Amino acid sequence: MPVADILSFFVSWIRNPLRVAAVAPSGPAVAALMTQEITAETGPVIELGPGTGPFTYALLGRGVREHDLTLVEYGSDFIRLLQARFPHARVFWMDAAWLDKYKLFEGAPVGAVISGLGLLTMSPNKVTAILSGAFGYLRRDGAFYQITYGPSCPIADAVLDSLGLQATCIGHTLHNLPPASVYRVTRRKPTTN
């Protein structure tokens, strides 16, 4: 990982620790964990909070085509960097809570959403808006992948219940600063009587 990325990320964290959830970019171990279930066949992928792009590089390594990537970043510090590194990806400078206010795609063609956002620092209303907007673009079988540095799922049960979603931990890694876990969030399957 380039020293410039670490420095840039750390400076952004110092400026606004509630917006930038970690003190350093995610490392290769957590990037591999975040993207382990994604392949070229997943189709379009939205990445929320790509920062300096460690998950984006991992997605490309998994076979996702660059023009199938939509990167949504709120931090102005990272926008030009993302545009330069991933010139064929669509890069949007916006709050992820605004996903439902824009037409990023027609219908629901997206196979996965990858989130590096610090949901633990956000209000339940904002988390609900992010998930609701993301699932508006996801195919029925699509999944939302969320990193967390906390001991459990960063999405409250009440939020999951209100949106008809379920969360499953797909792994942990101690080889990251700080250690991290990844959750897969999907729509609940309808119950049959």
**CATH for 99:** 3.40.50.150
In this predicted structure, what is the pLDDT of residue 28? Answer: 84
* Residue 193 belongs to a domain: no
CA angle 177, 178, 182 (to 5 degrees): 110
| Count of the separate structural domains present in the chain | 1
* Residue 192 belongs to a domain: no
* Residue 42 belongs to a domain: yes
Secondary structure of residue 76 in the 3-state scheme: helix
174 pLDDT above the threshold of 90: no
* Residue 22 belongs to a domain: yes
**Domain residues for 115?**
3-187
In this predicted structure, what is the pLDDT of residue 20? Answer: 45
The pTM of the full predicted model, rounded to 2 decimals, is 0.85
Distance CA 112, CA 120 (A): 21
* Residue 19 belongs to a domain: yes
* Residue 151 belongs to a domain: yes
Secondary structure of residue 32 in the 3-state scheme: helix
* pLDDT tens by residue, 79-130: 999 999 999 999 999 999 999 998 898 878 999 999 999 999 999 999 999 9
Q: Which residues contact 64 (CB under 8 A, 6 or more apart)?
A: 38, 39, 40, 42, 45
* Residue 46 belongs to a domain: yes
